[in-house]
């Protein structure tokens, strides 16, 4: 008579989760320079208002610090603080920024007092979040009344995505897997979980207690070279642009 083998006490290997994905040094943490410059110009104009002195600007989800370093020459006289929860990204950011600290967008995970921050750069982050509502709540907490939110995110309704959907192709920026790209152009997996149209982004940010000031478009650095002139032209109509740049103020 065969005796059944005792149950294994060895735990199955843990599959990498979303946090592991973003801590992987191979995952891109930088975005395109044109978007960073346009967003920095928007913020510089906002901070030129009378009565504004040296401002504290958080770059939340700063990645390797490239975007903040690109914006710094346009924000002279203001203090830029990079914030990220990826230790690998922070190591790289500290080579470019004088201030780079760890923080999260859950609960009260940002290490700043209520109403202590003048502006927040929130660039190419919201599309990666499981809970974007709580993220905006936390950003609103640390912003002073009238403080500025500069949010950028890919546009689900970009001009080429409209054509791709009509052809039955998965839109650019959207992903169905953390392991590989399926059903759309491109090869780079970056972990997008949520995508917005211009209308959806306005409504989402307004519902979180912000006043929408301005919406602009920016080009996408990944557009093939022959199509880049057309992509720049599309920026004149933000609802068709590759990237949405939203300026909002805390009410």
pLDDT of residue 215: 98
pLDDT of residue 168: 97
As a whole number of angstroms, the distance between CA 171 and CA 75 comes to 35
pLDDT of residue 32: 74
Residue predicted with more confidence, 168 or 31: 168
Cα–chain center distance at 39: 12
Which of these, 61, 69, 224, lies nearest to 153 by C-alpha position? Answer: 61
pLDDT of residue 98: 94
Percent of the chain with pLDDT over 90: 80
pLDDT of residue 94: 96
As a whole number of angstroms, the distance between CA 221 and CA 243 comes to 10
pLDDT of residue 4: 61
Task: Say whether pLDDT at 13 is over 70.
Answer: no
Task: Say whether pLDDT at 57 is over 80.
Answer: yes
**Under a CB-based contact definition with an 8 Å cutoff, are residues 143 and 122 in contact?**
no
pLDDT tens for each residue of 107-150:
889 999 999 999 999 999 999 999 999 999 999 999 999 999 99
Q: How many helices (H) and strands (E) does the chain have?
A: 8, 7
As a whole number of angstroms, the distance between CA 139 and CA 114 comes to 10
**Under a CB-based contact definition with an 8 Å cutoff, are residues 244 and 201 in contact?**
yes
Task: Say whether pLDDT at 161 is over 60.
Answer: yes
How are beta strands 56-60 and 117-123 bridged, if at all?
Answer: parallel
As given in the structure block, the two tokens for residue 105 are 């967008």
DSSP 128-140: G-S-HHHHHHHHH
Task: Read off the pLDDT of each residue in 77-105 and give the average, rounded to a whole number.
Answer: 95
pTM: 0.88
Task: Read off the pLDDT of each residue in 3-32 and give the average, rounded to a whole number.
Answer: 59
Task: Say whether pLDDT at 55 is over 80.
Answer: yes
As a whole number of angstroms, the distance between CA 198 and CA 66 comes to 25
Q: Helix, strand or coil for residue 237? A: coil
pLDDT of residue 192: 95
Percent of the chain with pLDDT over 70: 86
Which of these, 27, 92, 19, lies nearest to 62 by C-alpha position? Answer: 92
Whole-number average pLDDT of the chain: 90
* Tally of CB atoms within 10 A around 70: 20
């Amino acid at each position: 008579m065969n005796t059944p083998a005792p149950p294994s006490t060895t735990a199955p290997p843990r599959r990498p989760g979303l946090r592991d994905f973003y801590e992987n040094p191979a995952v891109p943490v930088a975005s395109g320079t044109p978007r960073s410059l346009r967003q920095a110009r928007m913020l510089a104009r906002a901070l030129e208002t009378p009565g504004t002195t040296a401002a504290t600007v958080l770059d939340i989800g700063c990645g390797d610090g490239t975007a903040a370093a690109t914006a710094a020459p346009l924000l002279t006289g203001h203090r830029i603080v990079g914030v990220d929860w990826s230790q690998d990204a922070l190591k790289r950011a500290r080579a470019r920024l004088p201030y780079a600290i760890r923080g999260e967008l859950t609960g009260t995970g940002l290490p700043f007092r209520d109403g202590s921050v003048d502006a927040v750069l929130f660039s190419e982050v919201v599309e990666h979040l499981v809970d974007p509502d709580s993220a905006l709540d936390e950003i609103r907490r640390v912003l002073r009344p009238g403080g500025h939110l500069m949010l950028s995110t890919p546009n689900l309704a970009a001009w080429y995505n409209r054509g791709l959907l009509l052809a039955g192709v998965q839109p650019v920026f959207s992903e169905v897997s953390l392991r590989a790209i399926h059903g759309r152009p491109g090869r780079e997996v970056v972990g997008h979980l949520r995508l917005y149209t211009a209308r959806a982004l306005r409504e989402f940010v307004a519902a979180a207690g912000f006043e929408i000031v301005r919406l602009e478009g920016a080009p996408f650095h990944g557009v093939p070279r022959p199509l880049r002139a057309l992509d720049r032209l599309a920026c004149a109509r933000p609802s068709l642009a590759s990237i949405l740049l939203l300026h909002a103020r805390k009410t």
